[in-house]
Chains A and B, each alone.
Chain A
């Protein structure tokens, strides 16, 4: 697997291109002229990538102005410009989450986005980089969630702290932090149960977990929101609510190995300034990659 992930993503795009009409390739294939039809298709394509109406309108308006100013008549040149613009929007300082050591990382998100798998991948990455890693299994709600993380812990070869199903997740987090403190782990990764951001009760529970982790951890605490690339405009609300409830430091965007482009993250970057820190491109341990704004923007716009 030596192809860079964005190439694989781009290949994914190629496959859908054959299935879907009206995508960005049509732009490339429709000839070099920048006319009204071009702008319309461009807008459709960006909407099709889940970037959302406000972001798309704003970006294409800006692009139209630049194209007119710079007398760009070639669609390839406009696509290049667009790619650069999107990359710029996404080039937020992604902070120090994986440079810090020691560090405690709280992993949160809605149900099924890939939190547990991401934790396994992160544990793997950090261990390969020489850090000692401890897992906290604080999803005490979903059936067999702990068993799932146990299996991963076994595969990666890292210790895990857990309690019985139904236990207080904050207590598991507490146990994990204490053990990390006592045994001097470099990195503590705390898994949490998936929850809809609309549930006041569950968001309150999460805020409590976060408070306890921040109170008990000697190491700095970072919170990562795991988001599924297939998510539509609801992703913005998700990010906002999680950020408001406990403060989010970065996003892990998963399932980019499919055909979804994760464009909602552009809107999230614009509105909330939350950086993408890693991308998930498969179900295996090494399917977690650093985020590169340029690559991502290229995969999104289909520019070569």
Chain B
């Protein structure tokens, strides 16, 4: 099965369009693919329905109909609508100037509230705040212990009540403690609760009313399936919330829950948890999430990361070469060096389109292979590096001997090079400013 909606749509369009024109039947076929992709990504089926209806309306509109590349145009409409629905990038927590400002976290059991509370404290401190953590999960064994341990690690104070104490009272006392200790923001961690548990939902509301949070955030696991909608609606109705933290986004879940929650509550997703470490909290990027849900890979993250490392000039040069299809093994050698700087290959490749770098499956990418690759390329003549197509059987043997590897390794490298060349082409887009923009000028998409 294709992972990439873009590929899928191109396929459908190819079959159904005569000379680049879109028929309504083609749009319908495309919408079936969109619906399938969203369902596979765990977007709630009700949300999918609404969404597809809206996209369809736009897709049968004239600009798409007359587009020369209707497949891409439909992808763009889908992507734009999705990014739109996901909201704008604004992760700032609006905190009042009162002492202390209060942030409260709620959510289902196991969604990652306690870790998120600690990460948030860490984040706010980086912004110059003086946070205090308040441990109100008096139910789960050692939940208070957990927050205290994290607080110690961060060197951020934690207010904890007695296990079995009253969470409302603890929250109140914690806020008071913050005032005394001159902490300017209090983060209230609460017990996990089921959205259908009346008593506990009521308790959450009472904690809210007691501490009147500036920001009440719902913590949602990125792996959540269809249930996300019911959960979010219930939390909204019973306690209301201002925004969402989506956790465990470092896994490979497509994360349709993010879209579902956003769609049914209208509340923005503020942060994404991307690891177990306490600094693994990222500002949420709606546009990237849209791509992820569509299975198009986190191309933008990759590009941004690359830009941090690649010297601007080199990037431009590379882009030129890609445009002219002159990317050689020598350039590959240089790029490999750059990749080494960017972090592990695995990490980089996992951000490429095709979910988890699946596109490079079979091409082994352990770091040792990097060194081997360098040796192989260095054993090639300049002509071979510039034009790998000349490398025949006997040349392969010579190169292998020179690099101290097997012919198989040489073959692998050549295959890998061809794949990488193809991939690099996918994210080389016109205009260096444009590369940072969520929407691509000139009707071209970066995949």
Contacts and interface: CB of A to CB of B under 8 A. Distances in A.
Interface of A: 12, 15-16, 19-22, 44, 47-50, 52-53, 110-114, 141-145, 147-148, 150-152, 165, 196-198, 200, 228-235, 237-238, 255, 257-261, 263-264, 283
Contact of A148 (B141, B224, B253): B141
Given A15-B196, A48-B45, A147-B142, A198 B252 contact: yes
A301 to B, nearest CB: 15
A36 B90 CA distance: 44
A233 B40 contact: yes
A262 B145 CA distance: 31
B16 to A, nearest CB: 21
Contacts of A49: 226
Interface in B123-176: 139-143, 145-150, 153
A233 B46 contact: no
B108 A233 contact: no
B111 interface: yes
Contacts of B112: 111-112
B242 interface: no
B399 to A, nearest CB: 30
Given A113-B110, A232-B256, A238-B223, 4 more contacts: A47-B39, A48-B44, A228-B223, A229-B227
A148 B140 contact: yes
B253 A143 contact: no
For the complex of A and B, the 4 pairs showing the least CB-CB separation, nearest first, are: A232-B225, A112-B110, A232-B42, A151-B141
A16 B196 contact: yes
B40 A52 contact: yes
Interface of A is mostly: loop
B40 A53 contact: yes
Given A196-B250, A230-B221, A142 B227 contact: no
Given A19-B230, A47-B39, A228-B110, A110 B141 contact: no
Contacts of B195: 258-259
Contact of B233 (A19, A112, A147, A257): A19
A47 B250 CA distance: 25
B248 A111 contact: yes
Given A20-B229, A152-B141, A198 B196 contact: no
Contacts of B139: 283
A17 to B, nearest CB: 10
Contacts of B251: 110, 196-198, 234
18 contacts: A22-B45, A49-B226, A50-B227, A53-B40, A110-B248, A111-B112, A111-B248, A112-B110, A144-B142, A144-B143, A148-B143, A196-B248, A196-B250, A197-B251, A231-B223, A232-B224, A232-B226, A235-B223
Interface residues of B, number: 52
Interface of B: 36, 39-42, 44-46, 108-112, 139-143, 145-150, 153, 194-196, 221, 223-231, 233-234, 248, 250-254, 256-257, 276, 346, 350, 356
A21 B44 CA distance: 12
A234 B253 contact: yes
Contacts of A197: 251-252
A229 B253 CA distance: 15
B226 A47 contact: yes
Contacts of B254: 233-234
A154 to B, nearest CB: 9
Nearest to B144: A144
B145 A255 contact: no
Given A143-B149, A148-B142, A200-B346, A110 B223 contact: yes
A260 B227 contact: yes
Q: Which of B40, B45, B110, B194 has the most CB of A within 10 A?
A: B110
Q: Which of B142, B145, B195 has the most CB of A within 10 A?
A: B142
B263 to A, nearest CB: 14
Contacts of A21: 46
